[in-house]
Amino acid sequence: MSRPQPQGISDLALVTGLKSGDQGAMAELYDRYSSVVYAVALRVLGDSGAAEDVLQEVFLQLWHKPTAFDAARGRLGSWLAVITRNRAIDSLRKRRPETDIEDVVLSVAPDLAAEADRARAAEKVRGVMGSMVPAQRSALEMAYWQGLSHSEIADKTGEPLGTVKTRIRAGLIVLRKAFQT
Amino acid sequence: MSEHERYAEDLALYALDALRGEDRALVDEHLATCAACRRELEQLRGDTALLALATTGPRPPQRARQRLLDAVAREARAVKVVETSPRRSWWGWLGWAATAAVVIFALSLWRENSELKASLASASSQAAKSAREVEEMRRIAAPILEPEAQRVTLVAAKAPPQPQGKVFYLRNRSSLVLLANNLPALPAEKAYELWLIPTNGAPIPAGVFKPDAHGSASVVNPPLPAGAEAKAFAITVENEAGSATPTLPLVMVGAGE
């Protein structure tokens, strides 16, 4: 990976280490990403015990199946954040996971592994969310942080299904554009 | 409205893992054949990652680290030893074929199970039974479909590795599995495409795929017309979005055994 790592060992090298059962590599990856994974799980679940269970589950999945992470498309931090959010929503809604972690491929986005980068990004995301019309912001937040389906959001807000779908997609695109500039 | 526009909003829901049931199956079907929509899905997942990554909060408790590392230590993997033989063994192929037949059966069970769940809420006990059977089949199929499974191809001693593909096709279920290995790497924007060459008529596209870093690839149940009789199968190199007609040359070809 091109991003310089503070400890000098790339994420990719550590993930490769997992494939040969390197427990030290697991500890290093935990130290790099556990705060992101825990923060996302806690934000969704609002309960520290449940968030800790998801944290454990996400890292054990990485340990069991390191090949699921495709370094060519997506950064490890982003990938872990996405699978954590999905797993936390599954836990919140008491449903079985429907997406295999190896099917979660994402475009190469900013990594934000360092906490300072994340704090800046958090501020930017808050700014972008704040600039959205309230109905759009709340549709996106309900979908993302509560895992509500578009029809559940439509029921709650009284808006047509099509409008809710459009708001969610448009909200994500607004975020994308903010980080492209 | 273009096909991509038709799927655009559903892709956003898919990226949020919010699409379930038939809506999800429809998008899955489209994604299997549309590289542009796969890229857009990856982009949308990247967008959702921004929301997640921008979340800040307290650090996890210190005990969580030890709990994980203890679990990892308990599960420290046994190194798998695969005995390789210099002789090519016919029963190896037989075992492979039997496993693939199980995979095809499992996939058809999975399909039946999905349909059953969607249409017959009252038959939940039957669906649960099918789900258990599917789970069992998946466990059996894992060694050939999991990317991390060790794949060993036995060839004549001292022969250099050759590209190989094996197609298992069940015409009456329109089910197909391709397992390939030692495939040469492709230039960017290019992909392999599998073709079903019917007894009559033009070649039918049977899945676009890219090999992994080791040259291994698989195609599982591409969309196919019902009951197409296959005379042969072939593989070409196409643009990664796939093609409706094969671009010569055929890089691999094989007829029924």
Q: What is the pLDDT of residue A134?
A: 94
pLDDT of B227 > 60? The answer is yes
Mutate to test the interface with A, among B13, B42, B44, B53 (most CBs of A within 10 A): B53
CA pseudo-torsion sign B150, B156, B162, B166: negative
Show the tokens assigned to B173: 């279920």
Judged by CB atoms within 8 Å, which residues 56-75 of A form the interface with B?
56, 59-60, 63-68, 73-74
SS3 B94: helix
- Alpha-carbon gap: A3 to the closest alpha carbon of chain B (Å): 17
Instruction: Identify which of A145, A47, A59, A44 has the alpha carbon closest to the alpha carbon of residue B75.
Output: A59
d(C-alpha A119, C-alpha B213), whole Å: 36
d(C-alpha A47, C-alpha A44), whole Å: 9
Instruction: Identify which of A68, A60, A147 has the alpha carbon closest to the alpha carbon of residue A105.
Output: A68
Distance of CA A13 to the CA centre of its chain: 22
Q: How far apart are the first and last CA of chain A?
A: 23
Helix (H), strand (E), coil (C) string for A10-32: CHHHHHHHHHCCCHHHHHHHHHH
CB pair distance less than 8 Å for A43 and B8: no
What is the DSSP secondary-structure string of B135-164? HHHHHHHHHHH-TTS------STTPPP--E
- Alpha-carbon gap: A168 to the closest alpha carbon of chain B (Å): 7
* B143 interfacial to chain A (CB closer than 8 Å): no
A18 contacts in chain B (CB < 8 Å): none
CB pair distance less than 8 Å for A147 and B24: no
B13 contacts in chain A (CB < 8 Å): 143, 149-150, 165, 168
Asked if residues B145 and B218 have their Cβ atoms less than 8 Å apart, the reply is yes
Q: How many CA atoms lie within 13 Å of B72's alpha carbon, on the beta-carbon side?
A: 29
d(C-alpha B137, C-alpha B130), whole Å: 10
Judged by CB atoms within 8 Å, which residues 175-214 of B form the interface with A?
none
A89 contacts in chain B (CB < 8 Å): 17
- Alpha-carbon gap: B256 to the closest alpha carbon of chain A (Å): 32
d(C-alpha B55, C-alpha A147), whole Å: 16
How sure is the predictor about B66, in pLDDT bands with cuts at 50, 70 and 90? very high
CB pair distance less than 8 Å for B73 and A81: no
Asked if residues B248 and B195 have their Cβ atoms less than 8 Å apart, the reply is no
Asked if residues B134 and B113 have their Cβ atoms less than 8 Å apart, the reply is yes
- Alpha-carbon gap: A146 to the closest alpha carbon of chain B (Å): 10
pLDDT digits (tens, 9 = 90+) for A25-75: 999 999 999 999 999 999 999 999 999 999 999 999 999 988 888 776 678
Distance of CA B94 to the CA centre of its chain: 21
d(C-alpha A139, C-alpha B24), whole Å: 20
CB pair distance less than 8 Å for B54 and A99: no
* B36 interfacial to chain A (CB closer than 8 Å): no
| Mean model confidence pLDDT for chain B | 79
What is the DSSP secondary-structure string of chain A? --SPPTTS--HHHHHHHHHTT-HHHHHHHHHHHHHHHHHHHHHHH--HHHHHHHHHHHHHHHHH-GGGS-TTSS-HHHHHHHHHHHHHHHHHTT----S-GGG----------SHHHHHHHHHHHHHHHHHS-HHHHHHHHHHHHS---HHHHHHHH---HHHHHHHHHHHHHHHHHHHH-
**Which ipTM score applies to this complex?**
0.85
d(C-alpha A54, C-alpha B25), whole Å: 27
CB pair distance less than 8 Å for A118 and B54: yes
A54 contacts in chain B (CB < 8 Å): none
d(C-alpha A124, C-alpha A130), whole Å: 10
pLDDT digits (tens, 9 = 90+) for A93-136: 887 776 677 677 776 666 666 677 778 888 888 899 999 999 99
Long-range contact pairs involving B29-38 (C-beta distance under 8 Å, separation at least 24): B29/B223, B30/B3, B32/B207, B32/B222, B32/B223, B33/B205, B33/B208, B33/B222, B33/B223, B33/B242, B34/B3, B34/B4, B34/B7, B34/B241, B35/B191, B35/B208, B35/B240, B35/B241, B35/B242, B36/B4, B36/B241, B37/B4, B37/B7, B37/B11
* A104 interfacial to chain B (CB closer than 8 Å): yes
Mutate to test the interface with B, among A32, A102, A107 (most CBs of B within 10 A): A107
Q: What is the pLDDT of residue B82?
A: 37
Q: How many CB pairs under 8 A join A and B?
A: 179
Of A21, A42, A144, the CB nearest to B77: A21
pLDDT digits (tens, 9 = 90+) for B187-206: 888 999 999 999 888 899 99
Long-range contact pairs involving B90-97 (C-beta distance under 8 Å, separation at least 24): B92/B154, B93/B166, B96/B144, B96/B166, B96/B179, B97/B168
Mean pLDDT of A141-162: 93
Mean pLDDT of A8-24: 88
pLDDT digits (tens, 9 = 90+) for B31-50: 888 888 988 898 898 888 88
CB pair distance less than 8 Å for B71 and A60: yes
CB pair distance less than 8 Å for B52 and A40: yes
- Alpha-carbon gap: B70 to the closest alpha carbon of chain A (Å): 10
SS3 B194: strand
- Alpha-carbon gap: B26 to the closest alpha carbon of chain A (Å): 15
CB pair distance less than 8 Å for A110 and B53: yes
